[in-house]
Structure 1
Amino acid sequence: MNLQKTLIALALTGMSLVSLSAQAHKPWLLPSSTQVEAGRDGNAWVTVDAAISEGLFDIDHQPLKLDGIDITGPDGAKLAPENVNNGKLRNTFDLKLVKTGTYKIALVSQSVFGSYKDKEGNVKRFRGTEESLAKDVPADASEVKLSRTESRLETFVSNGDASKEVLKPTGKGLELVAVTHPTELRAGEKATFRFLLDGKPAANQGVSLIPGGVKYRGTLGEIRKTTDANGELTLVLPAAGAYMVSSSWPAAAPQAPGQPPQMPPRRATYAAIVDILPE
């Protein structure tokens, strides 16, 4: 509730959704390593932290629910997390990497929120899913306004040599197609990312690259780029460390004075946690 009040207050001062995105609490999935090698038993392991925080990768707010976590192996097989632990500020789980190649860990969600007037003329607000929509909005409601959000949060881990099977897009929502493999990013080298919206190039799409550890720097350190007509952007990778690559569609609409930002009928967001390795 305090966060909601803060966002509304900031909106009323004329700040855009773009600037808010750099300040709001962020969900993240952070693997202990994005490149691993098998041990003596032939298996490799990673531990994944899952949380929502104000400072990126800081454990300062609340755990990220792991309901619906989707883990895909190099061969396309679905895997289950092991040793799941639910904490006060973060959740964690282990992942056993038996096969060589790249694994994708993802949380994908869809939600519907909006408002309506009841038969007495009172404005009611709600947040739910497509399945709960009929229950959330009464049949006699009027002036119904809906906004649908599709969110995708991902991270990638390679056991030995990287592979590309898990990098194939689904054609739904906002997605990253990593032209440069996400577990083979190195500081000082160029990397190219391609963004798709419903399987088509997301042209003129704003993309943000934010490093963790802001509490030690005192500045956000955000890098912002815009995709070209093919939905691609190329940049020279900054210093080594863990980063979040994120984007949202559509761009923020112009804001009316004294009013909160307008919510579009549909919104899609994407975020990936990647490691940039030393040169």
Structure 2
Amino acid sequence: MKLAFRTVALTLALATASVHAHNVWLLPSSTVLSKGDWITVDAAVSNDLFFFNHNPLALDNLDVTAPDGSAIKAENVHKGKLRSVFDLNLAQPGTYRVAVLNGGVFARWKDKATGQQKRARGTPENIASQIPADAQEVEVTQSAGRIETFITVGKPSKLQPSGKGLELAATTHPTDLVKGEKASFILQIDGQPAKDLEVTVTPGNTRYRDKMDEITAKTDAKGQFSVTWPQAGMYWLEANTKDSKTSVPQAKERRLSYAATLEVMP
């Protein structure tokens, strides 16, 4: 099942619940550079992987982390009709983590007077003010999503997970993937192993083939899973889950999502 994201961070919860046809991704012009240089990254919500045919991805919550942990500012940021785009000047050697971090709160309830279902989206700070005092059957859900890719300049460096939400903590380095070789990864939730989590890996350019050719895996007790790459090219990895570890008092459920673009070399 395809994971759906909206282009605005605060609509993530609604999108996950109601739309399942779209892929959300970052596509770098290069994932491996021999020395410091510029790259361009495309960002979109699409019906086909790495093909611009739906909406641009909002970059309000773009987070680019340099190998030393410092933040890198994107340049020439532009939002078009079908895609967003930005440039990065990667001068420091090592591995960069390029991510869009989405989060928000979604509420639904039954209106006491009319009996109709009502919905609202907001932040942890303002969601309570949007729900009437006499609302019935109130359900509040928190969401946290990470969309990312990786770029290495020179020699790969160790990834430093944030310890927040669902994210990748690699065993095999994500910019050192080769056709025919087995790669092992670890998924974590708040820095702890994401156990028994289903993962889907899909080769890009789905527009030009009849089958999705998805590779499915499941994390073990340590949050680890493996993929053997059938061919070179760009791949989209996604996973999602839910738990009750919310940081919003009104929310009983937290929805977690993760998507990454990975390049496999010949």
1:27 aligns with 2:24: yes
State yes or no: 1:86 paired with 2:79: yes
* Partner residue in 2 for 1:139: 133
Which residue is equivalent to 2:7?
none
When the two structures are superposed, what TM-score results if normalisation uses the length of structure 1?
A: 0.82
How far apart are the structure 1 equivalents of 2:162 and 2:69? 13
**C-alpha deviation, 1:36, in angstroms:** 1.2
Q: CA deviation at 1:199?
A: 1.6
> What is residue 210 of structure 2 aligned with on the other side?
218
Alignment of 1:1-279 (within 5 A): 24-38=21-35, 43-120=36-113, 121-164=115-158, 167-250=159-242, 265-278=253-266
Q: Following superposition, which runs of at least 4 residues in structure 1 exceed 3 angstroms of deviation?
A: none
Q: Which amino acid aligns with 2:155?
A: D
Give the secondary-structure state (helix, strand or coil) at the position aligned to 2:187. Answer: strand
Q: CA offsets per residue over residues 197-254 of structure 1, 9 Å max, x none?
A: 1221111110000111111112111100111111111221220111111111149xxx
After TM superposition, give the deviation of residue 47 of structure 1 in Å. 0.3
Shifted more, 102-111 versus 138-147: the winner is: 138-147
In the TM superposition, residue 118 of structure 1 has moved relative to its aligned partner by 3.0
Post-superposition CA distance 1:88-137 (Å, at most 9, x none) = 10011110011111111111111211311234143211222213302321
Amino acid in the other structure paired with 2:44: A
How many angstroms apart in 2 are the aligned matches of 1:79 and 1:150? 22
Distance 1:123 1:214 in 2: 37
Instruction: State the number of aligned residues.
Output: 242
Structure 1 Cα separation of the partners of residues 75 and 91 of structure 2? 13
**What secondary structure is seen at the aligned counterpart in 2 of 1:203?**
coil
Aligned mates of 1:194, 1:208 — CA distance in 2: 14
Do the aligned partners of 2:242 and 2:253 also contact (CA within 8 Å) in 1?
A: no
Deviation at 1:68, TM superposition (A): 1.4
Q: Secondary structure at the match of 1:268?
A: strand
Find the aligned partners of 2:30 and 2:40 in 1 and give their Cα distance.
8
Structure 2: how far apart are the matches of 1:168 and 1:100?
Answer: 15
SS at structure 2 position matched to 1:233: strand
Give the alignment's Cα RMSD to 1 decimal.
2.0
Distance in 2 separating the partners of 1:218 and 1:123: 39
SS in 2 for 1:78: coil
- Work out the CA distance in 1 between the residues paired with 2:112 and 2:207: 50
Q: Rg: which structure is higher?
A: 1
Q: Distance in 1 between matches of 2:262 and 2:223?
A: 19
- Counterpart CA distance in 1 for 2:199 and 2:126 is 32
SS in 1 for 2:212: coil
Unaligned runs of 5+ in 1: 5-16, 252-263
Distance in structure 1 (CA, Å) of the matches to 2:106 and 2:48: 26
Q: Which runs of 5+ in 2 are unaligned?
A: 5-15, 244-251
Look up the SS of the partner of 1:235 in the other structure.
strand
Report how far residue 139 of structure 1 moved. 2.8
